[in-house]
Amino acid sequence: MRSKFKRTILGSISHLLTDSIGNFLTRFFSKRLEKELLGELTDECLELLLEGMELAFCLSKGYRRNIKEFKGAYLLKTGDHLVVTSIVFDRGKMTVYEDAIADWDIRVTIKDVQAFWKFVFSRDHDILNLVLANEIEIDGNLNYIYKFGFLARDLAHRLGL
């Protein structure tokens, strides 16, 4: 989904779609993500979540509105540096990099994938307990992580989960 070609095609047809049709298409094309979210969370879930977000941004005007005026850069990584992903939101677009970026607004170092998902999909969004339990380490503005959590939960809601 990360290809500019797909983003261009889907972005251009999204103006012809209602939000409900965009949400339907996002759900239809995000079946693997839905299975991951309903089952055991794995390393692949981060990649699928980001692909689902990109798809929703392309197809759903309502979801895209969440980042219309938002600018922020995220660096997500594991403590052992085996998983490193960067996400940049700028001018209503989301770009994902498989390497670390130097100019981030928030850096999240996670003990393991499950610790990150506990925070992102928790209902009470209790980051303090995860930090105190040394499951995640956060550097930067916490508002950015709340924004990312909102986007992830909004996507799950649009998928009907």
**pLDDT for res 5:** 58
pTM of the model: 0.71
Residues 56-76 have pLDDT tens digits of 988 888 899 999 999 999 999
CA dist 159 and 4 (Å) reads 23
Rg (CA), the chain: 15
Q: Where are the domains of the chain?
A: 4-158
pLDDT of 89? 95
d(CA 92, CA 139): 24
Residues 6+ apart with CB under 8 A from 18: none
In the structure, what pLDDT confidence band is assigned to residue 1 with cuts at 50, 70 and 90?
Answer: very low
Q: Which of 70, 116, 75, 120 is nearest to 94 (CA)?
A: 70
Q: Is the CATH number of domain 4-158 3.40.190.10? A: no
pLDDT in tens, 99-110: 899 999 999 998
pLDDT (tens digit per residue) in 73-92: 999 988 877 778 899 999 88
**C-alpha dist (Å) from residue 159 to 52, 59, 109:** 9, 13, 27
Residues 108 and 71 sit within 8 Å (Cβ to Cβ): no
Please answer whether residues 110 and 103 qualify as being in contact, where contact means their C-beta atoms are separated by less than 8 angstroms. Answer: no
Whether 18 shows a pLDDT value over 70: the answer reads: yes
- Strands (E) across 3-135 are located at 72-78, 84-90, 93-97, 106-110
